Structure 1
Amino acid sequence: MAKRNVNEMSFLDHLEDLRWHLIRCTVAVLIFGIVAFCFPYVLFDLIIFAPTEMNFQTYEWLCYMSQSLGINDTTFCADRLPFDMQSRQVGSQFSARIWTSIYAGFIIAFPYIIYQLWKFISPGLKPNERKYSRGFIIVSSLLFFIGVLFGYYVITPLTINFLANESISDRIFNDFDFGSVISVVRSSSLASGLMFQLPIVIYFLTKVGLVTPKILKKYRKFALVIVLIISAVITPPDLTSQVIVAVPILILYQVSIFISRIVVRNQNKKERKAKA
């Protein structure tokens, strides 16, 4: 059936269109999730549990940096992280395998999900707006994967290393439930990937007039405080780790201001041409 003009579609037609886009996204996530489910060794041993080993690239780099600065007494140079993992419930491993596969499916299918989102909103845009937004899928996907890698290689190992070495008494040995370790890896990577979508979100908020460069500049100090608080919460309580996490977020915020400025400038040019 031919696709109807967006102006001729009713509210229920839009809902029906959205439903099919969501169904396609769900199918894509399930397909990639099933693929991930079929390769548990790659998914868990090589990816999920890699940050729990001291030969992980981030620990080796941080150990090298610490020794270069003359800091030899650091947890980044230890032989192993001081904890073991165990499963306390009968079905916990199977459940973790399913949910982790779904997370992996969502991450892998993200470009297609963005594509479906674009297919839903693009009919409502003007031809010139669609022209200037052709790179939306590529840029959004690139930012997402950069964010996922940042969460996986930076936030995750810093968090695991700190929590594993945190001790209130020598009488207590860390024997973590494996599900909590998986949760740290999944949430850190996915949350970071979504956080890196900030420039894209600011772009569309500026397009609809909800955000301006002046507003972003006005609340930049508050954003700085919020970023530092977030960095302090999700990283160990040392200045180096907090800076490593905070700097990329602040850069993203500054890039968002730049993008917002460009959008407003282009809109002003169009308004002046329309009046001329």
Structure 2
Amino acid sequence: MADQNSLVTHLIELRSRVLKAFLSVFFVFLCLVYFAQDLYLWIATPLQEALPDNAQMIATDVASSFFAPFKLTMVLSFFIAIPMVLYQIWGFIAPGLYKNEKRLIAPLLFSSTLLFYLGMAFAYYVVFPLAFAFFTSVIPEGIVNNTDISSYLNFVLKIFFAFGLSFEIPIAIVLMCWTGMTTPDSLREKRPYVIVGVFVLGMLLTPPDIISQTLLAIPMWILFECGVIVGSIYTRKKKEDSPEEQI
């Protein structure tokens, strides 16, 4: 009976946390929806600056001029509300963690959010200008590049997710070292395979040009090295913790 009451209590707590996370995203959306058109113009700036004078963005579907900015606003609302969403996740799992686990998870939640934002910023300010300049430079003569706004948005969101998730590599490495799935020394031995792997991932996750592939692969390699260093520090601290400190 006590177990059933405990399960019900946890389910109620989970429902409350999920509702708060949803409301935080919805609140950000309400704040941004008025600026939906401006947000789309901002996200389209890298392409518009690279397009030749005789080209422009177009809407090939009747409702795409409304739904594309609306969809962008929804996605950006979730991105902006990620700290609040992670805070609710932390509030739900924290009571069941040991002291040393809390010291690890709290910084990781903050770091994962920051790295995801950095990945998106890197894509917008570095990758997009170079990639779009390359795309527009190889347009065959006599062809006008009139990009559909919905297709462009899908492309941009895909790149945002690819770079945002790729910048989470250090977090994944720290978690694997912390849980004992691997060790920093083992990862160092696999460095040649990792280098090949990040370039393969760069080829799969980015458009088919060497510029954007390299701009994703090199940061992934650097982040891998950072993750190994941080993983070594956490592994060393874990060994130094006494059983009394972990309770």
Could you tell me which residue of structure 2 aligns to residue 190 of structure 1?
161
Any conservation in 2 of the 1:155–1:188 contact (CA below 8 Å)? no
Match of 1:117 in 2: 89
AA in 1 matched with 2:222: I
Distance in 1 separating the partners of 2:120 and 2:80: 11
Aligned partner of 1:35 in structure 2 is 31
Alignment partner, residue 178 of structure 2: 207
Secondary structure in 2 aligned to 1:39?
helix
The separation in 1 between residues aligned to 2:103 and 2:152, in whole angstroms, is 44
The aligned amino acid for 1:17 is E
Q: 1:94 is matched with which residue?
A: 66
Secondary structure in 2 matching 1:173: coil
Figure out how many residues of one structure are paired with residues of the other and give that number: 241
Contact map agreement 1:81 1:164 (CA 8 A) in 2: no
Instruction: Name the counterpart of 1:247.
Output: 218
Unaligned runs of 5+ in 2: none
Alpha-carbon RMSD = 2.9
> Structure 2 vs 1, CA of residues 119 and 15 (structure 1 numbering), >3 Å: closer, same or farther?
same
1:145 aligns to what?
A: 117
Partner amino acid for 1:26?
F
Deviations 1:210-255 (A, max 9, x none): 23223422432222112112334525634x6544332221111111
Report the residue type matching 1:123 in the other structure: P
CA distance in 2, matches of 1:219, 1:258: 15
1:48 Cα deviation from its structure 2 partner: 0.9
Within 5 A, what are the aligned runs for 1:10-21? 10=7, 13-21=9-17
Q: CA shift at 1:181, angstroms?
A: 1.4
Deviates more, 1:182-191 or 1:256-265: 182-191
Instruction: Letter of the 2:90 partner, please give it.
Output: W
More helix by share: 2
| Equivalent of residue 9 in structure 1, options 6, 11, 24 | 6
Distance 1:132 1:147 in 2: 22
Deviation digits for residues 177-235 of structure 1, max 9, x if unmatched?
A: 11111222222223322322222232233322223223422432222112112334525
Distance 1:14 1:273, change over 3 A: closer
Which amino acid counterpart does residue 22 of structure 1 have in structure 2?
V
- The sequence identity of aligned pairs, in percent, is 29
Moved more, 98-107 or 20-29: 20-29
- Using the size of structure 2 for normalisation, the TM-score is 0.82
Q: Relative to structure 1, is the Cα distance of residues 237 and 92 closer, same or farther in structure 2, using a 3 angstrom cutoff?
A: closer
In 2, distance between residues paired with 1:139 and 1:81?
Answer: 42
